[in-house]
Amino acid sequence: MSTFQPPAARARVSRRAVLRGAGVALTLPWLESLVRPASAQVLSTPKRFVAIYLPNGAPDLWRPSAAGAGSAWQLSSVLAPLAALKSKLTVISGLENGSAFNPSGSAAVEPSSSRMPGAWLTCVDAAVIRKKLGLADKADANGVSVDQVMAAHAAFAGKTPLPSLQIGLTSWHSSCDTGACSTMRSVSWQTETKPLYKTVDPSLLFDQLMGVWPGPGGTTPASRRAARQSVLDAVQESAGVARARLSASDKLRMDEFLDSVRSVEQRLVSSENRGCALPPSNPNFPSVDGASIQRNTGGYDRNVHFDLMNELLALALQCDRTRIASYMLEDERSEFVYDFVPRRTFTALTSAPSTGFCREWYAEGQSGNPDDYASIVHYHLGKVAAFCQRLDGMIEDNGLSVLDNSVIFLGACMHGSDHAADRLPAFVVGSGGGSLKTDQHRVFTKRPLRDFYFTLMNGVFDLGVADFGVNATGAPISLLPELLV
């Protein structure tokens, strides 16, 4: 997390009004009444990219049984939480990333849990980068990730106060699998030696997104909340000035946004007052093995944490604080105990409540009970669906929703319990402003993951990128035109 700076030191936001007060600079969502006519003629609705990382792969039942578009395909039982989003969803089968490691294109990569996560957004073998740079084994090294290639490009650079965001739900319990912790605990890499570790504390994320910094008299964001002082109190006068310029519909939109901010703030205070124990942001917290796994204690509530991070990221995108984000739902090889998730039984097309609750994700889920495995993935897809539906309710100046104008990519670095680097779970929600086809299950045969990112960068975001990642087999990079409108 970077040090907070007063708004004057940050990039200016075009298209968005900023409410200012003592120690607060709160960016509003797009409001038609506040757009200058000249600006409206030259500025287009922003497109966004969010990469959501699903650790430990997914059970085989994630894959829909039929390919096609519209009524020709239906969601699998594991994907059922995404049902309300089917018309805006593309499921992609047949992507692989073994070619980033193996000249033969083999899907076998070991140790899988420490090597493959780092390549999920880079399509590069970190070991090759270490050798090139003359670094020791396990040193921080990798390729530059696709989100950071995009953030540094002129199409995105300088357009938002935050070039990109890295957030997540880190577990206390995740092994580094004999490899480098950095390639398991960060999927975003700004340079070959600089991982961008995720923010896991929603309070810190709230302060960053709401433009909060120490105010007069040394007031800190934490002390402000402890004293029950809302950030909205600080911008009340500025909000009144802005409100006087708004149409009736924009006043309603502004009120809904401020209500959302206040709701999140109240939930933060509530979680802090319960002594909600969060895992540390430091990526070097000790690795643990299966024998030391314990149930979640200390008042921590994963549902509360998940919902807060979802809402904060949604607000960040709505207000154009950033257009690029990575979101790690867990570290790879997560051994977090999901004993609050009811177990379900699964067939290809249906699932039903069973008895008992799930255990931990890795040894007793991915490598153990298939229903536990499917139930935990099913739970996460429900949370991702809620996040996407929140975006779909945010309407922008082109008449489309924030979701419609975004590419939300949910995927995993490995297939499933076999730890293979092929048949990767991959799902896209949103059309990137109409550039991507939706409502389809598209099946490929061993297409490199880097081709997918190449397609997004050039076919959706028009970056003109000539190459990305590595294919150790020597195959050239190419577009996936089947995904494009």
Distance CA 169, CA 199 (A): 8
**Distance in angstroms (rounded) separating the CA atoms of residues 165 and 81:** 26
Give dist(CA 163, CA 179) in Å, integer. 29
Whether residue 221 has a cis bond before it, omega within 30° of 0: no
Q: How far apart are the C-alpha atoms of 228 and 129, rounded to whole Å?
A: 49
How does pLDDT run across 61-119, given as a tens digit for each residue?
Answer: 999 999 999 999 999 999 999 999 999 999 999 999 999 999 999 999 999 999 999 99
Q: Per the omega criterion (within 30 degrees of 0), is the bond before 111 cis?
A: yes
Q: Which amino acid is at 291?
A: A
Q: 402: which residues sit within 8 A by CB, 6+ positions away?
A: 48, 314, 317, 318, 391, 392, 394, 396
Q: What is the pLDDT of residue 174?
A: 67
**Tens-binned pLDDT, residue by residue, of the chain (485 aa):** 333 333 333 333 345 789 998 888 899 999 988 876 654 445 689 999 999 999 999 999 999 999 999 999 999 999 999 999 999 999 999 999 999 999 999 999 999 999 999 999 999 999 999 999 999 999 999 999 999 999 999 999 999 999 999 999 875 556 788 888 899 989 999 999 999 999 888 888 998 888 776 655 556 676 667 666 789 998 999 999 999 999 999 999 999 999 999 999 999 888 776 545 454 444 444 444 433 334 455 567 889 889 999 999 999 999 999 999 999 998 888 778 888 999 999 999 999 999 999 988 876 777 778 999 999 999 999 999 999 999 999 999 999 999 999 999 999 999 999 999 999 999 999 999 999 999 999 999 999 999 999 999 999 999 999 999 999 999 999 999 999 99
- Token pair belonging to 126: 């970190």
Among 275, 264, 265, which Cα is nearest to 301's?
Answer: 275
Q: Say how far apart CA 316 and CA 218 lie, in whole Å.
A: 26
Task: Tell me the pairing of strands 89-96 and 351-357.
Answer: unpaired
At 191 the pLDDT is: 98
Q: Mutual orientation of helices 202-209 and 302-318 as an angle, nearest 10°?
A: 10
Domain residue limits, the chain: 44-201+278-483
Contacts of 226 (CB under 8 A, 6+ apart): none
Give the C-alpha separation, 15 to 43, whole Å.
8
Single-letter amino acid code for the residue at 142: N
pLDDT digits (tens, 9 = 90+) for 191-231: 999 999 998 888 889 988 887 766 555 566 766 676 667 89
How many CB atoms neighbour CB 331 within 10 A? 30
Q: What angle separates helix 248-273 from helix 202-209, to the nearest 10 degrees?
A: 150
Confidence (pLDDT) at 213: 66
Give the CB-side neighbour count of residue 163, counting CA atoms within 13 A: 15
**Do 340 and 357 contact (CB within 8 A), yes or no?**
yes
Q: Which amino acid is at 111?
A: P
- Do residues 88 and 439 lie in contact, with contact meaning Cβ atoms separated by under 8 Å? yes
CATH 3.40.50.10190 is held by the domain 44-201+278-483: no
Q: Residue 48 and residue 196: Cα distance in Å, rounded? A: 19
Alpha-helical (H) ranges within 274-335 are: 302-318
Tokens of 400: 């489309």
pLDDT of residue 43: 61
Tokens at residue 72, please? 């020709």
